[in-house]
Each structure stands twice: as structure tokens, then as C-alpha cells.
């Protein structure tokens, strides 16, 4: 491991000032960052420890009637919070389908947003990668592309974003609160992550020294709690990233869909909100044909980045239909033993003890 400086910040202002130095990086749980450092994929010269910043570990009502989640809240604490799980069951289900229990107990919600792609060529420092070295090329293109992007990719990068948590957040119009050298600002989660384009090395809108301090969900997000699911297809049932995932949420009124939300994971370098599919649901009675139309709209512009991942387009269509079907049936009463798995019995209870 390369040598680096270390400091522990006592306040957000102190952390921002320290991280504004070139080559600095924030350290919270480090569940992704430390692995990258061990493999020399990233080599920060200064780690700014933010684990003891006051006030960033709270889940509390926001002033507009929604909820505010501090960036240092642990994934497991958020998923197991009774009030949160009752209001936002798909988010809780997504959190509990990610990583292992040990990692969920350590990982933070802010760090979840900032995790890097799991593209094997990004992790292999012997392979050219435009994320590590701009202009070096993308070894994934023409390589082993089975788990790579089928949406939003470019000739410079075909990686995908690995987060489960971010998928329902995108569907629910979450807001990211940021503090930085230029002061405080907010960014919709839908705009926070960047597609690769010509600059795949830039993955988010964060400027040097900027720090995520909280996430907010608007009050209307809780209106989907009765019909909300997260579904994840992965190569093994536990501790695996999504091949394809979907967060589906419906608000029903008089037997028709008054509002629908749909976002996909595993397809692109950001959570893939599909508003065309949402529009296809509006005002219609839920059912297989309506859901198939929504799935077609969701994947209308999908394009494989290699022969090995062409299957993901059809798989995503089927996962959209399945997720919408599950959502229409209603948020189940108890948490399945395998959260978000297509093979789990539907028994999720928002607000129930998740033990």
C-alpha cells in the first residue's frame, strides 16, 4: 500500500477544508475505498476520517414532511428502522439485499452513493481503463462483457454502477445534501451520478472537497408504501451484485394506477430511472399486458455493449414485469428470508422487526 497522511475531522467545515487538498479522500467505513487502496487502484495521499462528525448519523423528519438521512447512518440501521421501513419498504428491501450482514453493519449511506464500479478491468491495474487513466482505453470493450452496461454507455466506458440502495432512491426523487468549499447545495439523486460520455473518470457531480452530508426523501415518497418492491437478479443468492434489478412502486386509486415509479439497476453507470415506462402505467388498471408495455418502454433504447450481455435486455424486461406484478399485489406482510430475491416467498412486513 502507498504511504498516505491521515487526519480525523471534528466538524464538517474542518473535513471540507482538509479534503480540498489535491489527492485527498474522505474515509467513513472504507468498505470500498480500502479495497481499492490495497489493490493500488486508487492512491489518495491524504485520508480525512469523517466517522465522528456530529449529527450525520441521524434519521429524522425533514421540514417538508419527508425524511432526512444523515450520510453516516449505517445501512443496516436504516433498513431496520421501523418507521423508515414502514414508509419506504422498497428502500429497506434494497438495503437488505446488498452485500453481507457484516458489511451492512459497517457501510454508510453516503458511502453507498460513492462506491465505485465493480468492473474487473477497473480493478485490474494491468488492464487499460479510462476511469483510472483517462485516455488509456477501455479493456472491457471487446472483453468479458456479461455484466456490463446495456444503457447509457459510451465508447470510453461500459461499466455499471453497483448500488442496490440507489435504485429505489432514484425512483423516489431523493435529494443529496452537499457541503463544500463553496458552501451548501442540493442535487437530485437522478443528476448526482454521471454517465461516462467522454469523461468516464468523473463519476459524480461532486467538486474537490465536497462532502455528502445527508439524503432527503420528499413527503410524497411515502405514498407508495402499500405497493412497493425491489427485485434483484444476481449470480448467487447472497453477497453478489445485481445482474439486473428493479424498484417498482405504484399508487392505486379506484383500481387504477394514479402514479407509478420505476428504476433499474445493473444496466448503466447510474441508477436508470425510466419515466417512459412510468408514463405507460398512468391511469391504467394494473395487469400483465400493461406491465409488458411498460417493460417495452423501459428498454426501448437499451443497446448491448457486447455479445455476452445482450441477454440483459430481455432479462430486464422480464424483471420489470415481475417487479410491477409484485408491487401491484401489495407490499407483503413479512420480510422474506432472501430480500429482493425472485426465489423468496413474498412476506415483507414494513415496520416489522427485521431480525
Alpha helices in 182-221 (DSSP H): 189-192
3-state secondary structure of 202: coil
Nine-digit cell string for 308: 455476452
Instruction: Please determine whether the domains at 5-52 and 227-329 fall in the same fold group of CATH.
Output: no
**Which band of pLDDT confidence, cut at 50, 70 and 90, is reported for residue 337?**
confident
Residue 29 contacts residue 108 (beta carbons within 8 Å): yes
DSSP per residue over 32-80, as a string? THHHHHHTTS---SEEEE-TT-TTTT-EEE-TTSSEEEETT-BHHHHHH
Count of CA atoms in the C-beta half-sphere (13 A) of 217: 25
3-state secondary structure of 266: coil
The domain made up of 5-52 is a member of CATH 3.40.50.2000: no
pLDDT of residue 333: 83
**Which band of pLDDT confidence, cut at 50, 70 and 90, is reported for residue 344?**
confident
Mean pLDDT of all residues belonging to the chain: 95
pLDDT of residue 1: 66
Question: Residue 131 burial (CB < 10 Å; 0-12/13-18/19+)?
Answer: buried
Per-residue pLDDT reduced to its tens digit, 145-188: 999 999 999 999 999 999 999 999 999 999 999 999 999 999 99
Burial 37-67, CB ≥16 within 10 A → b, else e:
beeebeebebbbbbeebeebbebeebeeebb
Per the rule left: phi > 0, alpha: psi between -120 and 50, beta: everything else, 330 is left
The H or E element containing residue 263 is strand 256-265
Q: Is the pLDDT of residue 340 over 90?
A: yes
Nine-digit cell string for 112: 453507498
Q: What is the CA radius of gyration of the chain?
A: 20
**How far apart are alpha carbons 238 and 246 in whole angstroms?**
17
Per-residue pLDDT reduced to its tens digit, 40-80: 999 999 999 999 999 999 999 998 999 999 999 999 999 99
Q: Is the pLDDT of residue 354 over 70?
A: no
Structural domain boundaries of the chain? 5-52, 227-329
Residue closest to 224 by CA, chosen among 82, 327, 353: 327
Alpha helices in the chain (DSSP H): 12-19, 33-38, 75-80, 82-87, 89-96, 101-106, 109-114, 120-123, 166-171, 189-192, 275-281, 288-298, 311-329
Q: Is the pLDDT of residue 351 over 90?
A: no
pLDDT of residue 338: 87
Answer CATH for 227-329 from 2.40.30.200, 3.40.640.10, 3.30.390.50, 3.40.47.10: 3.30.390.50
pLDDT of residue 355: 35
Per-residue pLDDT reduced to its tens digit, 266-288: 999 999 999 999 999 999 999 99
Per-residue pLDDT reduced to its tens digit, 125-151: 999 999 999 999 999 999 999 999 999
pLDDT of residue 238: 81
Q: Is the pLDDT of residue 101 over 90?
A: yes
Tell me 338's DSSP state: S
For residue 94, give Cα distances in angstroms to 212, 245, 316, 346.
20, 9, 17, 14
Query: What is the value of pTM for the model shown?
Result: 0.96
Residue closest to 264 by CA, chosen among 119, 148, 166: 166
Query: What is the percent of the chain with per-residue pLDDT over 70, rounded to a whole number?
Result: 97
At 159, give phi and psi (nearest 5°).
-75, 165
Q: What's the average model confidence in pLDDT over 306-327? A: 98
Amino acid at each position: 500500500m502507498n504511504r498516505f497522511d491521515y487526519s480525523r475531522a471534528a466538524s464538517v467545515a474542518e473535513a471540507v477544508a482538509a479534503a480540498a487538498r489535491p489527492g485527498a479522500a474522505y474515509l467513513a467505513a472504507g468498505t470500498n475505498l480500502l479495497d481499492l487502496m490495497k489493490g493500488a487502484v486508487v492512491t489518495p495521499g491524504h485520508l480525512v476520517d469523517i466517522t465522528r462528525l456530529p449529527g450525520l448519523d441521524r434519521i429524522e423528519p425533514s421540514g417538508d414532511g419527508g425524511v432526512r438521512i444523515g450520510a453516516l447512518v449505517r445501512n443496516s440501521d436504516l433498513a431496520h428502522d421501523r418507521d423508515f421501513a414502514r414508509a419506504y419498504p422498497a428502500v429497506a428491501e434494497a438495503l437488505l439485499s446488498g452485500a453481507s450482514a457484516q458489511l451492512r453493519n459497517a457501510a454508510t449511506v453516503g458511502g453507498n452513493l460513492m462506491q465505485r464500479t465493480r468492473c474487473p478491468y477497473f480493478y485490474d491495474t494491468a488492464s487499460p481503463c479510462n476511469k483510472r487513466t483517462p485516455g488509456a482505453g477501455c479493456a472491457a470493450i471487446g472483453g468479458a462483457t456479461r455484466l456490463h452496461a446495456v444503457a447509457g454507455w459510451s465508447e470510453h466506458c461500459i461499466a455499471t454502477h453497483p448500488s442496490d440502495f440507489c435504485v429505489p432512491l432514484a425512483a423516489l426523487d431523493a435529494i443529496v445534501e452537499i457541503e463544500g468549499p463553496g458552501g451548501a447545495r442540493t442535487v437530485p439523486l437522478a443528476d448526482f451520478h454521471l454517465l461516462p460520455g467522454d469523461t468516464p473518470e468523473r463519476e459524480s457531480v461532486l467538486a474537490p472537497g465536497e462532502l455528502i452530508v445527508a439524503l432527503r426523501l420528499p413527503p410524497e415518497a411515502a405514498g407508495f408504501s402499500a405497493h412497493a418492491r425491489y427485485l434483484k437478479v444476481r449470480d448467487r443468492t447472497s453477497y453478489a451484485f445485481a445482474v439486473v434489478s428493479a424498484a417498482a412502486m405504484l399508487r392505486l386509486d379506484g383500481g387504477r394506477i394514479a402514479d407509478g415509479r420505476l428504476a433499474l439497476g445493473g444496466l448503466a453507470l447510474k441508477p436508470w430511472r425510466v419515466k417512459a415506462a412510468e408514463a405507460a402505467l398512468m391511469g391504467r388498471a394494473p395487469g400483465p399486458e400493461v406491465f409488458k408495455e411498460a417493460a417495452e418502454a423501459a428498454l426501448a433504447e437499451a443497446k448491448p455493449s457486447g455479445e455476452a450481455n445482450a441477454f440483459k435486455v430481455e432479462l430486464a424486461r422480464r424483471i420489470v414485469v415481475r417487479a410491477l406484478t409484485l408491487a401491484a399485489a401489495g407490499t407483503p406482510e413479512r420480510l422474506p428470508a432472501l430480500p429482493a430475491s425472485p426465489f423468496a416467498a413474498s412476506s415483507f412486513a414494513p415496520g416489522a422487526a427485521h431480525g
